[in-house]
Chain A
Amino acid sequence: MSKLFAITLLVIAAGSAFLFISHPWMPHDISATGAAIDRQMSVTILESGVAFLLAQVLLAAFVWKFSENQSGAIKTFPGGAAGLITAAIVLVGTEVVALGLLGQQSWASMFLYPASPDALIVQVQAEQFAYYFRYPGPDGKLGPIHPGMMDDSAQNFFGLDRQHDPASKDDIVTAEMAVPVDREINLLMRSKDVGHSFYVPELRLQQDFVPGMDLSLHFTATRTGTYEIACTQLCGMGHYKMHARLIVMSAKDFADWLTKKAAAQ
C-alpha cells in the first residue's frame, strides 16, 4: 500500500509538472510591460515547481522506504530539525527576497509611475453588464458627468449634458474600445453602479472599478488585433456576459475609426 502511495504521488507530481511545461498556457503578450511579467512568471513557476517536486518526491521516497521498517530502532534525519529549519529559512528566505525585489519593478511600471503627459486619454465606465468608452474629441477635454442624467435608453450612458457643457459636445462614446498601437493609453476608470473589473489577459493587466473612486490605468499595446475585455469582479446576474472588444489598430486606422464614430453621433 505504501508503494502504491509513493508511485501515485510520483505520477501525480510528474504529470502535473509535465502539463505545466508542455503547453504555453498563457495567451500571447501584447503589452510593453508584459515581457517583464512573463519572465517573472516563468522564474516563479520554475522555483515553485522545484519546491513542489522536491517535497512530493521526498514524501514518496520516505513513505516507500520506512513503512516496511517495522523492526529495529527509529533513526533521525541527518541534521535533525535544526538542519531542516535552517534550510527552510535560508532557501525560502532567499526566494522571498529575490521574488519580492524582482516583482517590484514591473509592478512599479504599471501602477506606481503615472502615465506620460502625452498619453491618449480614454475613459471607461462599467455598469451592469456593459462597458462604455469615451474619447475626449478634438478639444481634448472630457465633459462633466451628471449621474442624474444617465439614461441608457436615450444612449446617454455617461450622463452628459451636451447642450450646456461645451466640453461634452464633441465627446465620442462607444461600446467597444479602439486604441492605436504603440501609443500609451491613460485609461480613466469609473463605475456607474457596483464593483466591476477591467481584465485583458493579453495586456497582463487587471484593475477593479470601485464605485465612488476615480481610478486610472495606463498601458501600451504593442500588437494590432482584436482582444477581449472581461469583467472579473462579481457584479450580478449578467456578470458572465460582461465583455467588450479591445481593438488595437494602426495610428491611421484609429484616426479613421474615431472620425467615423464621431460622425455617427
Chain B
Amino acid sequence: MTGRTMTGQTQTGFLRKYLFSLDHKMIGKQYFLLSLCAVLVGVVFSWLMRIHLAWPALSIPGLGWFSSTGAPHGVISPEYYLALMTMHGTLMVFFVLTLAPLAAFGNYFLPIQIGAEEMAFPRLNLLSFWITLIAFVVLISSLFVSGGSSISGWTAYPPLSAVGAIAGPGEGAGQTLWIVSIAIFCVASLLGSINFIATTFDLRCQGMTLMRMPMTVWAWFITSCMTLVAFSVLLPACWLLILDRVAGTSFFIPAGLVISDQLQPHSGGSPLLWQHLFWFFGHPEVYIAILPAMGIVSHVLMASMRRPMLSHKAIIYSMIAIGFLSYVLWGHHMFVSGMNPYSALVFSLPTLVITIPSTIITLIWIGSLYGSKLRITSASLFALGFISVFVSGGVSGFLLAQPSLDTYLHATYFVVGHFHLIMGVAAIFGIFAGTYFWFPKMTGRLMNEPLGKLHFWLTFVGSYCIFMPFYYLGLAGNVRRESQFVSAAMQSLMPIHRFITVAALGTGAAQLVFLYNLVYSWRWGKAASTNPWEATSLEWSIPSPPPAASFGGEVVSVSRNPYQYGIEGAQDFLMQRTEAMTAGTATSRLAPPKVANKPSADTSLSKTGVWIFIAASVMTFAALTSALLVRRGSAQDWQLFRLPVLLYFNTVLLVCSSVVLEIARRSFPQFNLSGPRDARTAKLCLSITLLFGAVFLGGQAAAWLQLRSQGLTFGDGPSSSFFYLLLEAHGVHVLVGLIAMAWVLDTLYRSQLRKPSLETFALYWHFTTALWLYVLSVLLITI
C-alpha cells in the first residue's frame, strides 16, 4: 500500500523518497528539519528583540536591507519589534514546541516502539506534513507583505487583531496571513493526531498491551488526544476571527469603537469570547509542548540510570491527570481580563491542583536516581537538566496561580520567565535529550559526545542566565511586550536587561556547536551499532538506521514491559522484543493475535479514524455553538428571524437518507459477495442515500439563497452570521460524505466493496445526520 514492497528492496525515486515519502521515518525527519528551520528563525528574531531592548538606538548591520520600513537604517522600529515578537512566539509555540517533540520524534519512533511497520494512515501523514509546511510558508510570507507581520502577539487578541489595517501596521495583510497560517496549522495537527491515536489503538504488535507501551508512546498518545481537542477548538476560533476581518461579522468586535478617529461599523461582539476560545486551546497547548518531553526524558533517564522508574503507573496516570486538568484551568490566563471575578477563584483551584501530578512525576524522577547506576552522556545530561529547569519554571506557577498575586505579576517579565523556563527551555531540553539519544538510530552514526557535553554546559548555564533574571524584573514591575522602556523607574533595570541580552546572544551562538555536531555526525560520525545505549525498547532491536520496512516484514511480538533494566546477570538488561524464533512458535500455538502489527487490508482502522474525526468535529461544533450561546447571551443586537421552511424538508430528507443507508448496511453480507444478486438491495439503497444527500445539500443551498434574497447577509447581525456559518460547516461535512459515498458506490459496482468499508461510511453518514439535528435544534432555540 505504500508504493514499495515490505522488504524495502525496491528503488524509490527522489520525489517518493525525500519529498512525498509515505515512510513515517522520513516524515519524522522532515518535521525535524522544518522545526529546525523554524527554531533558527525564531532564535534570530529573539536576538534582534533582545538587542533592541538593551540598546534601542543601535543600528543592526544588514537589518535595514532586510526590512527598510520596519528597521530603517537597521534601527528597529516599535512596530517591527512587535512583529518580531509575534513571529518569535508563533514560530516557537507552533512550529517548534508542537512539531519537534510530537510530530518529529513521534512520527519516527511511535510506530517502531509499538512494533508497527507503518502509521495507520500513511497518505494522511504525508498530507499533514505538507499542510504544516504550507502553514509555515504562509506565516513567513507575512514578513514581506506591506505593513509587515502581525503586531498583536501570538495570542492575537481582538479587536486589535480583528479590525484590520486601521489598528496599526501589520494588522492588515500580515494579520490575515497569521490567522490563515494558524488555521492551516490546526488542520495539519488534527490530521496528525488522528493518525497517532489510530496507530496507537490499532497497530500495536502482539503482546503490546497498554501498560507495556514505552513512556514516550504514552506521552505521544496523551498529547495527541489533547491536540485533537485543543486544535479542533482553535480552528473555528480562527475561522470566526477571519470572518470578522473579511466578511463584516461581529463575533469579537463590540459596538461604538473609534479607531484612528473613525467610528467602526461593528456591533455587539465580545472580545472576551476570543480569549476564552483561544485559551481553551492555549493552556492545553502548554502541556502539548511539555508532555512529549516528559516522555522522552523518562525514556532516556531509564536507559541512563540502568533501572526502571520507581513507578510507571504513577507517571502515566499523572500525565493523564495533567491532560484532563489542563482543560479546566484556561481562565488563569484571564484573571485580570475583565471576566467575572468569581470565576477567577474557580479557575485558580485546578491551576494549583495540577501541580500535584507534576510534583509526583518530578519526585519519581528524582527518587529513581537514588541507588541507580547513572551514566553521564549528552542525552542524560539534557534529561537531568530538564528536571532542574522544569522545577525552576514550575515553582513560579504557585505565584501566578493565585489571582491576587497575578494582579501584580500579570503581563510582567515574571510571566515571561515562567513560561520560557517551563514550556520553552524544558521542552527544548527534552528535544535535545531525544536528539542525542536517538540520533544513532535515525542516522546509523553516533554524535560527538565531547561536543554534546560542551553544548549542554553552555546551554544549561546560559538558559539560567537568560531566564532567571526575568523573575526579578517581573517582581520589580517590569511590563513585557514594551519595545522600549521609557519610564524612569525602568531605567534602573537596564543593566539586568543588558546582561540578559548578552546571555541570550551567547547561548544562541552556543547552538552552533549543536548544529555543527548534527551536520558533521550525520555525514562523518562514528558508525553506531544496533543498540549503542544498551536500551531495551523495540527501536533498539532493529538496525541503525532502520530499513524502509522497519522490522523487515517479521512478526514482532513482546511479552514484557519495555524497561527491563537492572537485571542480575551478565547483561543488566532484557530486550522488550521476544526473540524472532520464539515469536514464530508462539504465534503458531496461540490464537490469531488480537492486534496486527501492520495495516492489513482491515478497514477497522478507518473506522477508528472516523471515530476520532467525529470526536474532533464534535469539539468544533461544541465550540461554535457555545460561542453562539455566549454571543446570544451578551448581545443587545441579536435579531430573531424565521428559519426557512425548506430546512425542515431538508431535515426529513437527511433522516430518511440515514434510514435507507441503514437498510443497505444491514442487507449487505458479512463476507465476500457471492453473486450480483446479493448487492441489489445495497445498490438501490445506496443510490437513494446519495440522491437524498445531494438533494439535502442543494436544499441547504436554496435555504441559504432564500434568506440571502430577503436581504439577510453574513455580516448583518450575529444571528445570521451564526446561521450561515453553521449551515456552511455542516454542509462541508455532507459534501465530504457525498464524495465518500460516490466512492463506496463505485466500489460496490465493481463488486469490491467489503462490509467494513460500508460500516465505516455509515458511521460517518449517521454522524452528519445527528450533527444536523443538533445544529437545527440549537438554531431553533436561539433564532
Contact = CB atoms under 8 A, between A and B. Distances in A.
Contacts of B460: 8
B168 A243 contact: no
A205 B384 contact: no
Interface in A1-48: 1-2, 5, 8-9, 12, 16, 19-20, 23, 25-27, 36-37, 40-41, 44-45, 47-48
Contacts of B731: none
Nearest to B78: A237
Contacts of B353: 96
Interface stretch (B364-372, B547-555, B556-564): B364-372
Interface stretch (B279-287, B354-362, B706-714): B354-362
A9 B461 CA distance: 9
Interface in A35-76: 36-37, 40-41, 44-45, 47-49, 51-52, 55-56, 58-59, 62-63, 66-67, 69-70, 73-76
Interface in B166-194: 167-171
Contact of A74 (B311, B372, B476): B372
A89 interface: yes
B98 to A, nearest CB: 22
A88 B489 contact: no
B388 A9 contact: yes
A225 interface: no
A44 B258 contact: no
A117 interface: no
B336 A207 contact: yes
A251 interface: no
A100 B401 CA distance: 9
Question: Which of the four size classes fits the interface of chain A?
Answer: 35 or more
Contact of A103 (B306, B360, B402, B566): B402
A49 B395 CA distance: 8
B472 A67 contact: no
Given A84-B367, A237-B79, A239-B82, A56 B391 contact: yes
B254 A212 contact: yes
A231 B481 CA distance: 10
Interface stretch (B124-132, B149-157, B597-605, B656-664): B149-157
B280 to A, nearest CB: 18
Given A195-B159, A197-B411, A240-B486, A25 B476 contact: yes
Contacts of A138: none
Interface stretch (B12-20, B35-43, B267-275): B267-275
Task: Name the residue in B366, B375, B387, B480 with the highest tally of chain A Cβ atoms < 10 Å from its Cβ.
Answer: B366
Interface centre among B171, B408, B476 (most CB of A within 10 A): B408
Contacts of B471: 20
B453 interface: yes
A232 to B, nearest CB: 4
A92 B373 contact: no
A232 B479 contact: yes
A174 interface: no
A58 B365 CA distance: 11
Contacts of A254: none
Interface in B367-418: 367-376, 381, 384, 387-388, 391-392, 395-396, 398-399, 401-405, 407-408, 410-412
A183 interface: no
A69 B153 contact: no
Contacts of A49: 395
12 contacts: A5-B381, A63-B384, A66-B369, A67-B374, A77-B367, A80-B311, A81-B364, A100-B352, A103-B403, A107-B404, A211-B257, A237-B168
Interface in B269-328: 269-272, 305-307, 310-311, 314
B475 interface: yes
Instruction: Please list the 10 inter-chain residue pairs (A to B) with the smallest Cβ-Cβ separation, ordered nearest first.
Output: A212-B254, A75-B371, A201-B477, A81-B311, A232-B411, A25-B475, A111-B341, A237-B79, A62-B369, A240-B482
A235 B479 CA distance: 13
Contacts of A194: 157, 159-160, 163, 167, 257, 259
Interface string B319-355: 0000000000000000011100110110011001101
Interface in A197-231: 197, 199, 201, 204-213, 215, 228, 230-231
Contacts of B360: 84-85, 88-89
Given A150-B261, A236-B167, A74 B373 contact: yes
A107 B407 CA distance: 9
Nearest to B372: A66
B47 interface: no
Contact of B314 (A19, A85, A104, A239): A85
Nearest to B269: A212
B403 to A, nearest CB: 5
B780 interface: no
Contact of B398 (A36, A44, A232): A44
B487 A85 contact: no
B201 interface: no
A152 interface: yes
A257 B251 CA distance: 43
A206 B373 CA distance: 51
A211 B159 contact: yes
A199 B489 CA distance: 14
Contact of B271 (A48, A55, A75, A211): A211
Given A26-B476, A89-B360, A153-B261, 5 more contacts: A55-B388, A55-B391, A74-B372, A88-B363, A243-B486
Contacts of A1: 376, 381, 453
Given A16-B392, A206-B336, A77 B370 contact: yes
Interface of B: 77-79, 82, 151-153, 157, 159-160, 163, 167-171, 253-261, 263, 268-272, 305-307, 310-311, 314, 336-338, 341-342, 344-345, 348-349, 352-353, 355-356, 359-360, 362-364, 366-376, 381, 384, 387-388, 391-392, 395-396, 398-399, 401-405, 407-408, 410-412, 453, 457, 460-461, 464, 468, 471-472, 475-477, 479-487, 489, 566, 568
A88 B388 contact: no
A214 B460 CA distance: 47
Contact of A147 (B152, B258, B271, B388): B258
Contacts of B341: 107, 111-112
A47 B401 CA distance: 14
A119 interface: no
Which of A96, A106, A110: most chain B CB closer than 10 A? Answer: A96
A51 B395 contact: yes
A139 interface: no
A193 B167 CA distance: 9
A197 B482 CA distance: 13
Given A25-B475, A26-B476, A206-B410, A92 B384 contact: no
A199 B411 contact: yes
Contact of B487 (A74, A193, A230): A230
Contacts of B260: 128
A100 B352 CA distance: 8
Nearest to B374: A67
Interface string A122-156: 00000110000000000000000001101111000
Contacts of B366: 55, 58-59, 62
A153 B260 CA distance: 11
Contacts of A36: 404
A104 B689 CA distance: 59
Contacts of A112: 341-342
Given A193-B167, A228-B489, A27 B482 contact: no
Given A80-B310, A85-B311, A206-B411, A66 B374 contact: yes
B398 A66 contact: no
A142 B226 CA distance: 49
A92 to B, nearest CB: 5
Given A37-B405, A51-B395, A112-B341, A193 B259 contact: yes
A8 B405 contact: no
A207 B404 CA distance: 11
A207 B202 CA distance: 50
A201 B360 CA distance: 35
